[in-house]
């Protein structure tokens, strides 16, 4: 019975391959070169690249690796890749409707530049793709980073932990046309125990890589998830905390002909324009860094630093807030992005100057002992001293293709997502037209080349500190499920409990900046 189901699925898969091959022609340099390298993996990779060029879903994997198309491309011999690139194999797919797709795929194949890393972590602090660091103590949903072609976007939700501090509690992404969201709090819908949503529906990502329709992957990790785009970008989501669950998000992008914008900057190699807003050049940013260990700028006064933090929390934040049209998040009935927006936050801008030298020294030692880099030491000191968040060094994303040598496959092996729940009739017989999970169970007697699904990621990633906020020098209150806005009406909101604070000198603000229009938003499949 098991063999019948497997043969049926494999037959359907090969039928799809044959139809695609007939459509593009037998003389296609992409397909001929890749199938000469590996008849099974090459056939899949050729079909996947062609599908990506026109925005279609990629075919099912017929090999044991959990590679994305970009990862599979990287294990193809250099000579084969050069011959394919020389033949311009994707030009036949270019038209006025998919020119961006073709260009992005071509760039991902020919790419030889190094990735740039950006990050949001802790309270939250930002490290741009070009190395700028700043504190972003705001509440709402924001564009963390996005590409100009509409195939890459990451949005984050920041929620208050008290009247002065906020943390990342959710992330939503456009993964090459698939909308993926992960929630540390406020999980939408009835499946509260399942924090991951794909195109609006809950999915189970537990012990194996989950394949996205358009070629991306979601790999479970000890403290979160690693999301890989079919064109090579990655997002590492680390989730921690006890009473207040939150997340850190680290992105890797490849600025090879692609343009980026968002809270993490434009990845152009220069720091002086990382705080530019949509169509507006931002003022000088030297006072934004004094709390992050920049010795040259420590002469900046505390008041001037707070003034720049106010600019970041108001004008800069407003430029990158999402709207109902651009949001990639899911919401429960009666909720929208305004439910999670509070433009009056924070009530007070706190800096490292509010800590005693002893507090700073103790926090610094913990951060240094925890392996935090010099550029992130200020943010770590801030989180450790104010919130007692343990050090969280920048994670390293291991490349699963380094020195990887694929074994020869004698026959195709089906490698797909198992159903979330067994679909059976009384007596345990599979429902007609479904694959029973028993068909995909790992058998210790079966070798990987025989079709057992395996993850290419390291099951024991580099040692990292647990993300765990708890009571610090002063208690922090757990926020309500919705956040009020003092400037924008919000539904079902209730006030945040605030403690009396010393008045801060009012800071002038710039004219409001309208958010940019949506790239794709929830029009994604």
Task: Encode burial over 338-347: b for 16+ CB neighbours within 10 A, e otherwise.
Answer: bbbbbbbbbe
Q: Using CA atoms in the order 376, 379, 384, 386, what is the torsion angle rounded to 10 degrees?
A: 170
Which class for 332: exposed (0-12), middle (13-18), buried (19 or more C-beta within 10 A)?
Answer: middle
**Is 80 exceeded by the pLDDT of residue 414?**
yes
Helix, strand, or coil (residue 293):
coil
Share of the chain above pLDDT 70, in %: 69
**Is 70 exceeded by the pLDDT of residue 218?**
yes
pLDDT digits (tens, 9 = 90+) for 150-169: 999 999 999 998 888 899 99
For 446, other C-beta atoms within 10 Å of its C-beta total 13
pLDDT at 277: 65
CA atoms within 13 A on the CB side of 172: 25
Report the mean per-residue pLDDT for the chain: 75
448 Cβ contact list (under 8 Å, min separation 6): 64, 407, 454
The residue among 74 and 420 whose pLDDT is bigger is: 74
- What average pLDDT does this structure show over 505-515? 34
Q: Does the reported pTM lie above 0.85? A: no
The residue among 106 and 450 whose pLDDT is bigger is: 106
**Is 90 exceeded by the pLDDT of residue 479?**
no
pLDDT digits (tens, 9 = 90+) for 490-509: 333 333 343 333 333 333 33
pLDDT digits (tens, 9 = 90+) for 10-56: 555 445 444 444 444 434 889 999 999 999 999 999 999 999 999 99
- What average pLDDT does this structure show over 213-227? 96
186 Cβ contact list (under 8 Å, min separation 6): 159, 169, 170, 340, 481
Alpha helices in 55-148 (DSSP H): 69-74, 78-86, 99-110
User: What is the Cα–Cα distance from 99 to 259, expressed in whole angstroms?
Assistant: 15
Q: Where residue 206 falls among pLDDT bands split at 50, 70, 90?
A: confident
pLDDT at 280: 55
The residue among 393 and 338 whose pLDDT is bigger is: 338
pLDDT digits (tens, 9 = 90+) for 101-136: 888 888 777 677 788 999 999 989 999 999 888 888
**Is 90 exceeded by the pLDDT of residue 64?**
yes
User: What is the Cα–Cα distance from 175 to 210, expressed in whole angstroms?
Assistant: 13
Which tokens go with 145?
């980073």
């Amino acid at each position: 019975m098991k063999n019948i189901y497997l043969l049926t699925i494999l037959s359907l898969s090969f039928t799809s391959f044959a139809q695609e091959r007939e459509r593009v022609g037998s003389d296609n340099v992409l397909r001929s070169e890749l199938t000469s390298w590996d008849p099974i993996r090459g056939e899949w990779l050729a079909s996947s690249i062609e599908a990506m060029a026109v925005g279609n879903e990629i075919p099912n994997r017929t090999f044991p690796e959990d590679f994305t198309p970009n990862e599979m491309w990287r294990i193809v011999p250099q000579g084969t890749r050069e011959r394919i690139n020389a033949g311009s194999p994707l030009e036949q797919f270019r038209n006025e409707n998919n020119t961006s797709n073709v260009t992005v795929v071509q760039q991902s194949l020919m790419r030889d530049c190094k990735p740039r890393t950006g990050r949001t972590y802790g309270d939250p602090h930002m490290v741009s793709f070009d190395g700028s660091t700043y504190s972003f103590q705001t509440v709402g949903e924001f564009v963390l980073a996005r590409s100009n072609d509409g195939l890459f976007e990451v949005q984050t939700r920041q929620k208050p932990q008290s009247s002065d501090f906020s943390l990342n509690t959710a992330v939503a992404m456009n993964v090459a046309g698939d909308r993926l969201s992960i929630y540390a709090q406020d999980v939408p819908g009835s499946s509260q125990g399942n924090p991951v949503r794909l195109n609006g529906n809950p999915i189970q990502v537990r012990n194996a890589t989950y394949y996205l329709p358009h070629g991306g992957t979601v790999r479970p990790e000890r403290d979160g998830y690693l999301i890989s785009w079919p064109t090579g970008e990655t997002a590492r989501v680390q989730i921690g905390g006890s009473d207040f669950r939150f997340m850190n998000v680290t992105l890797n992008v490849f600025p090879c002909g692609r343009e980026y914008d968002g809270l993490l900057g434009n990845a152009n190699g220069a720091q002086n324009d990382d705080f530019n807003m949509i169509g507006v050049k931002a003022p000088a940013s030297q006072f934004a860094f004094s709390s992050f260990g920049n010795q040259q700028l420590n002469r900046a006064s505390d008041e001037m630093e707070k003034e720049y933090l106010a600019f970041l929390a108001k004008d800069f934040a407003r430029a990158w807030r999402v709207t109902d049209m651009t949001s990639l998040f899911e919401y429960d009935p009666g909720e929208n992005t305004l439910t999670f927006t509070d433009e009056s936050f924070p009530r007070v801008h706190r800096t490292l100057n509010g800590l005693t030298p002893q507090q700073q020294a103790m926090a610094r030692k913990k951060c240094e002992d925890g392996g935090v880099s010099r550029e992130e030491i200020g943010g770590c000191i801030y989180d450790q001293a104010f919130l007692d968040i343990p050090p969280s060094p920048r994670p390293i994303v291991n490349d699963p293709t380094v020195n990887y040598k694929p074994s020869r496959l004698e026959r195709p092996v089906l490698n797909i997502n198992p159903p979330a729940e067994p679909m059976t009739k009384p007596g345990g017989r599979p429902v007609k037209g479904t694959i029973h999970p028993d068909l995909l169970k790992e058998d210790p007697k079966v070798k990987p080349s025989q079709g057992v699904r395996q993850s290419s990621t390291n099951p024991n990633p580099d040692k990292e500190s647990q993300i765990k906020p708890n009571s610090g020098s002063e208690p922090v209150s757990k926020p309500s499920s919705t956040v009020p806005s003092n400037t924008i009406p919000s539904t079902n909101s209730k006030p945040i409990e605030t403690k009396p604070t010393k008045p801060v000198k009012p800071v002038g603000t710039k004219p409001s900046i309208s958010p940019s229009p949506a790239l794709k938003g929830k029009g994604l499949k």
